[in-house]
Structure 1
Amino acid sequence: MEKNRTLANIRKDIENHVGEKVTLKANGGRKKILVNDGVIESVHPSIFVVRLESDTQRTVTYSYSDVLTKTVLLYYAV
């Protein structure tokens, strides 16, 4: 059973993993699921930034509510 998650808990969890590798599964709309590997670069009051490890080295931003509503799933590297 999943514990009760709040935006504050999600933010604290992501703050604890800044600089670590993650795998992102994001809902791209129209039945598209985007899967990318990257590194959590920074954490801000309402968003967090992930630098993707693709050939273009671009960054993407997501809000903590995206994680709460499971629009974005984060899997931390072990």
Structure 2
Amino acid sequence: MADRNTLNEIRRNIEGYVGEKVTLKANKGRKRTMVREGVLENTYPSIFVVRINGDYNSVRRVSYSYSDILTESVEVTVSKDNHEIKVS
């Protein structure tokens, strides 16, 4: 099982990028992946929320748990100052 300290480290890493533009690469199963760009909106004790601007002026919010990053079912890459930073 995941060590609680590891999940806390991931949460602290993500908290530092609230308000930044991120790229999500989520494994949807059966060799399907979803790649979306959005803004890291907020962090909570168990999840983090990303706001995705969709087509036709629609806004969508998706949430993932920190264990999704630990199990590598979601990859979060932060775009900051023309640099790509992978959060893990």
Give the alignment's TM-score, normalised by structure 2.
0.80
Does residue 1:45 correspond to 2:49, yes or no? no
Give the alignment's TM-score, normalised by structure 1.
0.89
**How far 1:53 moved relative to its partner?**
2.5
Match of 1:71 in 2: 73
Mapping for residues 1-78 of structure 1, pairs under 5 Å: 6-55=6-55, 56-78=58-80
Tell me which amino acid in the other structure corresponds to 2:67. S
| Count of aligned pairs between the two proteins | 74
Where does the alignment leave 5 or more consecutive residues of structure 2 unmatched? 81-88
* Identical positions, percent: 55
Question: 4+ residue stretches of structure 1 with deviation over 3 A?
Answer: none
Answer 1 or 2: which has greater strand percent.
Answer: 2
After superposition, give the CA deviation of every residue in 1:11-49 in whole Å (9 maximum; x if it has no partner).
Answer: 000000000000000001111010000000000000000
